[in-house]
Each structure stands twice: as structure tokens, then as C-alpha cells.
Amino acid sequence: AYHCTTIVDCNTRKQHGLLVIPIPELDSDNHVLLSSLDETVIQHGAPFNLGLHKYQGNCYSPNGHKYIREFSRMLTPLGIEPALPECPGLLESIEENGATFAENALIKARAVFEATGLPAVADDSGICIDPLGGGPGGRSARYLGEDTPYPVKNAAILERLKDVPDELRTARFTCAIALVTERGEHVFEASCEGKIGYEPRGERGFGYDPIFYVGEKSFSELTDGEKDAVSHRGKALQKL
């Protein structure tokens, strides 16, 4: 099976013709096998830009970043190929100064749409912990410094909550996904309720996943399918 998609120059917005490419292969967990995608397709060929998402100072990359995997395994079966906007310096120029997840997602999606002329999707998300007054919230990526490793951040949160009883350790992941096209703007928001555990567990997740528990399992212990069904990003992507 194949996709047929238009090639558009990021700077001039001129269409250069059509590109026919194989539909990407999926592994047993419905991950898109990025090795099965032609590099030029990732950079130039997709009808949707994935948008930008700051994570330890980086944007989405075509070599297996965890965020692009979550987008890809839900959007690829619908015929939508997430792709990088090939615009040097764009990430550094974006100032995420919104007061909410939705505002920051729109800031990023607008920037990508204005730079490429293509429909743009951007995500902004974070963890909101009730005993910490809803923090880190919108500053989740910058909590204790943007370059601080997440194991250090998670350990600091567990230390702050060491005397908090189980019934008060409530928290939620919240996500806003913005879609900007020539026909308008849309924001899809969703949350996942859970609790902060007493220790990090699991090997599959990233960020705050090891300390965020839904039921008896942390996010890092869930399979991709289990996580997509209940996660904040999975629910928002379903709305999208």
C-alpha cells in the first residue's frame, strides 16, 4: 500500500509535485518503524507538520523521539504522516509565553503554519500535582531547570511528597493539542487523573511517567496501547 502526497518547499511554499511512498511499517506495539520511512519523506513529503514540542531543549526529530512516536502510532493509521518543519532557527524564535497549555500550543502551531503554509499540529502538556498547588503545571519542562534530567526532577518531587498520605497525592497529566490550518484554529484538550507514587517504576515511559500512577501501574509500566487509551495525549489525539 502507498501514500500519495504533495512536496512543498518550506520557504517558498511552492508545490514541487507528487511523491508516492510506501505506508510505514508498524511493530508489535503499533510503533511506526521510522527506519521504514524514506528520509526525504520525513523532511519534505508529509501533508501535516508535527509542530514543535520543547523537551530538554530539543524539537521533534526523525530519529525516534518519543513524542513523534506517540503522534505517529495514532495518526499514521489515519493516513496522516507527522513531519518536521524544515525551517532552521524556528524553534529558537518561538517564545512560549502563554498562560495556559492551550495558549502555548497555539503559539507553536501558528509559528509552524506561518513558516510552512501547511496544516500544523503542536502539543503543550505537563503534570499538575495537587499537593504542590497544581505545579509544576505549565512549567513542567522547566521545573528545576530545562536541562535537569528527569530522574532528578522525579526524585525531587518524591522527596517533597514523602510525608503526604496516599489519598492526598492526587495529580493529573494535562495536554492541549492545537491544529492551525488556512481554515482556522482548533484546540483539543484532555487530562488523565492519577496519583504520584512513592517510587519510580517502569522502563517504557519518559519524563514524569515513572512516578505517575493510574491504578496500580505507573505510566512507564503501561504498554503503548494501554497508555494511548488513558493518557492525556492519547485522549487529545483521539479528539483531533
> Greater confidence, 121 or 187?
187
Q: Give the active site residue among 9, 29, 123, 124.
A: 124
- Report residue 69: phi and psi, to 5°: -65, -40
At 21-69, the pLDDT tens digits run 444 555 555 444 544 444 333 333 333 444 443 322 222 322 235 667 7
Residue 159 pLDDT level (bands cut at 50, 70, 90) = very high
| Residue 147 and residue 56 in contact, taking contact as beta carbons nearer than 8 Å | yes
Residue 89 pLDDT level (bands cut at 50, 70, 90) = low
pTM: 0.69
Closest CA to 174 of 121, 119, 130: 130
Residue 207 pLDDT level (bands cut at 50, 70, 90) = very high
Rg of the chain over CA atoms, in angstroms? 18
In three-state secondary structure terms, 193 is strand
Burial 74-107 (b: 16+ CB within 10 A, else e): bbbeeebbbbbbebeebbeebeeebeebbbbbbb
- Give me the percent of the chain exceeding a pLDDT of 90: 45
Least confident of 72-81, 197-206, 214-223: 72-81
pLDDT at 105 over 90: yes
Q: Tell the residue number behind the cell numbers 513529503, with chain if given.
A: 45
Count of Cβ atoms closer than 10 Å to residue 121 Cβ: 28
Least confident of 85-94, 99-108, 150-159, 217-226: 85-94
Q: Is 29 a catalytic residue?
A: no
| Residue 102 and residue 189 in contact, taking contact as beta carbons nearer than 8 Å | yes
